[in-house]
Amino acid sequence: MRELKVELGRRSYPIYIGRGILSARELYAGLLPPSAQLMIVTNTTVKKLYLAGVKAALSDYVTSSYVIPDGETYKNLDTLNDIVTELLKNHFDRGCWLVALGGGVVGDITGFAAACYQRGVDFIQIPTTLLAQVDSSVGGKTAVNHEMGKNMIGAFHQPRGVIADTAVLDSLPAREFSAGLAEVIKYGLIRDAEFFAWLEENMEKIMARDADALEHVIELSCRNKAEVVAADEREAGLRAILNLGHTFGHAVETALHYHTWLHGEAVGAGMLMAADLSVRQGWLDAGDAERIRQLLERAGLKTALPPKLHGANLRDIMAVDKKARGGRLNLILLKGIGRAEVVADFDEALLSKTLDAFTGRGVPA
């Protein structure tokens, strides 16, 4: 088992990475106070696979569970209200803990419920998708979606621990696995050119789900994110680079009403759009943009948008992005592989050309 730490002073917490650790009673004992009152939140898919094992590992505690429907469309205030109602019905007090057992949707909404319930209770992340293991379970961003924008209602609320069992990835559908690789590739692009090159050399091993390669991928991804979060927990500056591709990707997800595409698929295409705009700005070499495209495709990710989207519509959605300030959109763009920056002074006309190119009305840079 590998162990990392997110260094946040008194709120520091461990990330455990290993095969078969989902049911390791000693890990939970090291995180939880004796006789803690727990509610596990999971979804209909994960319940069938892993809920019984986690419950068995937590049998020393007062444990109940609540199951939400599976899918991004349920990451909303209605589901949040359902979770809080269940906590109240079962008389959970301010000393209770929540356990998020699932992918990014379960982790985000459970974390937000923990942030809100009785003004904040503790929670543990047990991510069951690659995307959640390398990204969303770490860093304390919690949220639900609004029909006008993704993750627009939320709070920063750090977990007390993350338990990432690589064995759960054996049952992950190929499409979900590829979606997680978008966030992995992101770390190479924003701050770790050596990792990006390693991914280029080892993508076939990763796609074959080689155990050693996967542990390395998860460890390096979590290490990169933990370092950024420790330096800028509440996204006052540096942490914004973790959103490479997300402003574009969130606009795609919103335009599709959170149907059709997975979050990681939208982020992958969004990173390619950010690379395209970076080339148009003269900041990124066209050859590096092609390296990015090829790696995304080797990871099984989409590099073209659905034909029904329109550039002007995507731009309107991007206008309400959380990184907008004073009416001005901030984008994460590339000055090279391994070098991302938050940029407000990009050329709006070039952004329109990128959006038009990816929605079938223009030519990629």
Active-site residues, by number, are 119, 141, 183, 225, 235, 239, 243, 246, 250, 263
Residue 177's φ and ψ, nearest 5 degrees, are -65, -45
Minimal CA–CA distance to 329: which of 307, 309, 352? 352
Neighbours of 26 (CB within 10 A): 9
The answer to whether 16 touches 27, Cβ cutoff 8 Å, is yes
Torsion of CA 6, 8, 9, 15, to 10 degrees: -20
- b/e map of 269-291 (b: 16 or more CB within 10 Å)? bbbbbbbbbbbbbebbeeebbeb
Distances (CA, A) of 181 to 51, 59, 64: 25, 34, 33
The answer to whether 250 touches 151, Cβ cutoff 8 Å, is yes
- b/e map of 347-362 (b: 16 or more CB within 10 Å)? eeebbebbbbbbbeee
- b/e map of 307-340 (b: 16 or more CB within 10 Å)? eebbbeebbebbeebbbeeeeebbbbbbeebbeb
Rounded distance between C-alpha atoms, residue 75 and residue 82, angstroms: 11
Rounded distance between C-alpha atoms, residue 157 and residue 203, angstroms: 33
Rounded distance between C-alpha atoms, residue 227 and residue 299, angstroms: 25
Length of the chain counted residue by residue: 365
Neighbours of 75 (CB within 10 A): 23
Rounded distance between C-alpha atoms, residue 242 and residue 189, angstroms: 10
